[in-house]
């Protein structure tokens, strides 16, 4: 701006400009004359000029000094020395009646330089559209400090984030947090700054990633995220999700990218799919097992029918035969016993399939449990004698009415007694005891036979686990009796337990809750299922040869 142009501008606001110039009250000085000496900024010479100007003001009796300085000439290379000069001069002239307005070209300084300018002056005059606003620089400095603190907080927060954060363009990385160093395997940010983010992308995915970055920079991306692969520290590809947006980095276009390791998510998805496949396979297996169980049940019924016919025919022949030899009677007995064995096995198989299909129901009745257990005990007398054993029944009550299925209770007790007979040597003892404890009834079958090792006792209630397998193969057994007995007892709301010691015998205890059916009559237990007790015993003891 020329001398005349400045003078013309001032005349718009001040009358008698020439008078003020002539009397020395107004000076218009070129920045080349005031600030530069031989086209070079010299702080010491300029400081002397300020001293002379201040002395001129005082000598002429002026009330103060008002200065408007155009700093638009300042080059960035001279900024630091000029900033230091302003700081030193302002600390002196701030004590004088002096006002200086410095006009800076804001486009010629960066944000850090602007902060230093604000720090060296008391006020800042900003133009907002057509209006001027005067701000006290203390407030600006406080706001600057708050802004800086916020920036520091945000930076610290970014460092604490477990996801990788990058500020970058297509060629260079300007910023990264600790998570970014971890996922890439780079040791420090200085090393990262010499690299491009594209270098870390899997070669097969690199072209798609470069297109994605270009779309972000040009604001043409349809979606702000991309699924790709990043090469980690060990050279292994890592599945990542990239979320990106355009970012202004110190006035230059850049990309703010967030990288998230989604390997575990993909593994979860694969695991869920694997679970779905296994569930489908499980359902198919269950359906197949259901069909198999149904077939097994049907074939078991088919086996039982001819067995019953054979047994009936044997009974008729046995009644009608006359004068048959002893050998014939012996063979009839062998046939009958083995028919019983087959019938017992088929019955167990049928019940196992009913249990698996959840079709095993109890026919509860109010029965005298003492009478049931005592009659069952008496029905096995013949087998006890043949094995040269002693059997004793004892009870603390003569009558106890409870709700139970007499058919199934009979089956449980017969199974326990038959096991005791099988594994008790000749001249041994078997005790059957029923005790009424008020809230429950406990039926125990005790023997002084071979006993069961403690570590094997939990196996005896497993299906197809034969008790005698632990000691001897002299007795034949399917391994279904005790599992079915346990199920029956538990179906009654009770429990079955065992105490045993090798060489001293075993004691099985069945506990049944003392409950009765409302408005039900006591039921006779003479023949609960159509079989009499002897017939039941014959079936249950068919594995015991006499």
Average pLDDT over residues 250-261: 89
Contacts of 41 (CB under 8 A, 6+ apart): 35, 78, 81, 82, 85
Residue 326: per-residue pLDDT:
54
The yes-or-no verdict on residue 494 having pLDDT over 80 is yes
Token match 């090393």: residue?
191
Residue 60: per-residue pLDDT:
84
The yes-or-no verdict on residue 356 having pLDDT over 90 is no
**For the chain, domain boundaries:** 3-145, 159-265, 266-350, 357-541
Confidence of residue 405 (pLDDT cuts 50, 70, 90): very high
Q: Check residues 427 and 356 and name the one with the higher pLDDT.
A: 427
- The radius of gyration of the chain's CA atoms, rounded to the nearest angstrom, is 53
Confidence of residue 527 (pLDDT cuts 50, 70, 90): very low
Q: Check residues 362 and 108 and name the one with the higher pLDDT.
A: 362
Q: Check residues 200 and 98 and name the one with the higher pLDDT.
A: 200
Confidence of residue 529 (pLDDT cuts 50, 70, 90): very low
The yes-or-no verdict on residue 319 having pLDDT over 90 is no
Residue 144: per-residue pLDDT:
67
Contacts of 98 (CB under 8 A, 6+ apart): 54, 64, 65, 66, 67
Instruction: Report the residue count for the chain.
Output: 546
b/e burial code for range 127-155 (CB count within 10 A of at least 16 → b): eeeeeeeeeebeebeeebeeeeeeeeeee
Confidence of residue 49 (pLDDT cuts 50, 70, 90): confident
The yes-or-no verdict on residue 237 having pLDDT over 60 is yes
Overall pTM surpassing 0.85 (yes/no): no
The yes-or-no verdict on residue 333 having pLDDT over 90 is no
What's the CA gap between 31 and 75, in Å, rounded? 13
Residue 173: per-residue pLDDT:
93
Instruction: Take residue 149 and report the two structure tokens written for it.
Output: 């603190």
The yes-or-no verdict on residue 473 having pLDDT over 60 is no
The yes-or-no verdict on residue 538 having pLDDT over 90 is no
Among 152-156, 245-249, 520-524, name the one with the lowest average pLDDT: 520-524
Tens-digit pLDDT profile for residues 140-179? 667 767 777 777 777 788 888 888 999 999 999 999 999 9
Token match 């200065």: residue?
67
Contacts of 93 (CB under 8 A, 6+ apart): 50, 54, 100
Token match 């947090």: residue?
177
Three-state helix/strand/coil letters over 498-531 = EEEECCCEEEEEEEEECCCCCCCCECCCCCCCCC
CA 409 vs CA 243, 413, 445: distances in Å: 71, 6, 13
Looking at 423-544, list the stretches that DSSP marks H as alpha helix, in order from N- to C-terminal side.
481-491, 533-540
Residue 327: per-residue pLDDT:
62
Q: Check residues 528 and 498 and name the one with the higher pLDDT.
A: 498
At 197 the three-state DSSP class reads helix
Residue 513: per-residue pLDDT:
95
Q: Check residues 216 and 523 and name the one with the higher pLDDT.
A: 216
Residue 519: per-residue pLDDT:
64
Average pLDDT over residues 226-235: 86
Confidence of residue 366 (pLDDT cuts 50, 70, 90): very high
Instruction: Take residue 182 and report the two structure tokens written for it.
Output: 């971890």
Q: Are 389 and 444 in contact (CB under 8 A)?
A: no
Residue 364: per-residue pLDDT:
93
Residue 12: per-residue pLDDT:
86
Contacts of 199 (CB under 8 A, 6+ apart): none
The yes-or-no verdict on residue 323 having pLDDT over 80 is no
Tens-digit pLDDT profile for residues 289-310? 777 666 666 666 666 666 677 7
Confidence of residue 69 (pLDDT cuts 50, 70, 90): confident
Domain made up of 266-350: CATH architecture: Orthogonal Bundle (1.10)
The yes-or-no verdict on residue 47 having pLDDT over 50 is yes
Residue 460: per-residue pLDDT:
87
Half-sphere exposure of 391 (CA within 13 A, CB side): 21
Average pLDDT over residues 397-409: 93
Assign domain 159-265 one CATH number from 3.30.450.20, 3.90.1300.10, 3.30.70.980, 3.30.2350.10.
3.30.450.20
% of the chain at pLDDT higher than 90 = 28
Tens-digit pLDDT profile for residues 175-191? 999 999 988 989 898 99
Looking at the DSSP assignment, which residues form a beta bridge with residue 101? 68
Confidence of residue 73 (pLDDT cuts 50, 70, 90): confident
Identify which of 156-165, 365-374, 379-388 has the greatest average pLDDT: 365-374
Q: Are 367 and 360 in contact (CB under 8 A)?
A: no
Among 15-24, 184-193, 283-292, 375-384, name the one with the lowest average pLDDT: 283-292
Residue 487: per-residue pLDDT:
92
Among 20-24, 231-235, 246-250, 462-466, name the one with the lowest average pLDDT: 462-466
Assign domain 357-541 one CATH number from 3.40.50.720, 3.30.565.10, 1.10.1740.10, 2.40.30.10.
3.30.565.10
Handedness of CA 470, 473, 475, 476 (dihedral sign): positive
Tens-digit pLDDT profile for residues 338-355? 777 777 777 777 777 778
Instruction: Take residue 115 and report the two structure tokens written for it.
Output: 């902060």
Confidence of residue 417 (pLDDT cuts 50, 70, 90): very high
Q: Which of 83, 88, 74 is nearest to 112 (CA)?
A: 83
Handedness of CA 166, 169, 170, 172 (dihedral sign): negative
Q: Check residues 461 and 464 and name the one with the higher pLDDT.
A: 461
The yes-or-no verdict on residue 199 having pLDDT over 50 is yes
Residue 330: per-residue pLDDT:
66
Q: Check residues 80 and 175 and name the one with the higher pLDDT.
A: 175
Average pLDDT over residues 389-405: 94
- Measured torsion, CA atoms of residues 331, 332, 338, 342, in degrees rounded to the nearest 10: 150
């Amino acid at each position: 701006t020329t001398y005349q142009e400045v003078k013309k501008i001032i005349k718009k606001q001040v009358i008698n400009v020439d008078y003020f110039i002539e009397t020395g009250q107004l000076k218009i000085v070129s920045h080349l004359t005031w600030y530069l000496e031989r086209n070079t900024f010299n702080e010491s010479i300029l400081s002397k000029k300020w001293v002379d100007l201040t002395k001129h003001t005082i000598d002429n009796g002026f009330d103060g000094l008002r200065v408007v300085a155009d700093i638009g000439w300042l080059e960035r290379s001279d900024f630091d020395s000029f900033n230091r000069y302003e700081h030193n001069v302002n600390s002196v002239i701030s004590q004088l009646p002096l006002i200086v307005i410095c006009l800076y070209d804001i486009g010629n300084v960066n944000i850090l330089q602007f902060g230093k300018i604000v720090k060296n002056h008391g006020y800042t005059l900003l133009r907002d559209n057509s209006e001027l606003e005067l701000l006290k620089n203390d407030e600006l400095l406080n706001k600057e400090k708050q802004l800086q603190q916020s920036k520091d907080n945000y930076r610290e927060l970014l460092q604490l984030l477990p996801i990788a954060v990058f500020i970058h363009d297509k060629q260079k990385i300007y910023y990264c947090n600790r998570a970014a160093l971890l996922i890439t395997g780079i040791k420090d940010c200085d090393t990262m700054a010499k690299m491009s983010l594209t270098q870390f992308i899997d070669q097969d995915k690199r072209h798609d990633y470069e297109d994605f970055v270009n779309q972000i920079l040009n604001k043409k991306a349809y979606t702000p995220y991309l699924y790709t692969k990043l090469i980690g520290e060990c050279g292994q590809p890592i599945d990542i999700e990239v979320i990106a947006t355009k970012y202004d980095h110190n006035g230059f276009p850049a990309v703010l990218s967030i990288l998230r390791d989604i390997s575990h998510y993909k593994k979860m998805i694969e695991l869920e799919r694997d679970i779905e496949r296994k569930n489908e396979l499980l359902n198919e297996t269950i359906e197949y097992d259901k069909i198999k169980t149904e077939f097994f049940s049907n074939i078991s019924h088919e086996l039982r029918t001819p067995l019953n016919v054979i047994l009936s025919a044997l009974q008729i022949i046995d009644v009608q035969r006359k004068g048959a030899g002893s050998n014939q009677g012996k063979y009839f007995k062998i046939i009958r016993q083995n028919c019983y064995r087959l019938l017992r096995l088929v019955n167990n198989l049928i019940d196992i399939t009913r249990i698996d299909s959840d079709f095993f129901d109890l026919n509860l009745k109010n029965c005298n449990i003492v009478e049931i257990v005592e009659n069952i005990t008496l029905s096995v007398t013949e087998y006890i004698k043949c094995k040269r054993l002693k059997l004793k029944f004892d009870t603390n009550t003569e009558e106890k009415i409870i709700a139970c299925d007499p058919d199934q209770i009979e089956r449980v007790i017969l199974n326990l007694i038959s096991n005791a007979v099988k594994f008790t040597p000749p001249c041994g003892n078997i005790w059957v005891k029923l005790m009424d404890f008020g809230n429950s009834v406990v039926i125990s079958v005790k023997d002084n036979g071979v006993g069961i090792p403690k570590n094997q006792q939990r196996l005896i209630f497993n299906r197809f686990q034969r008790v005698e397998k632990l000691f001897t193969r002299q007795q034949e057994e399917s391994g279904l009796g005790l599992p079915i007995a346990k199920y029956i007892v538990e179906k009654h709301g009770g429990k079955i337990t065992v105490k045993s010691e090798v060489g001293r015998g075993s004691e099985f205890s069945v506990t049944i809750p003392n409950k009765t059916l409302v408005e039900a009559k006591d039921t006779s237990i003479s023949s609960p299922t159509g079989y009499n007790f002897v017939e039941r015993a014959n079936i249950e003891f068919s594995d015991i040869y006499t």
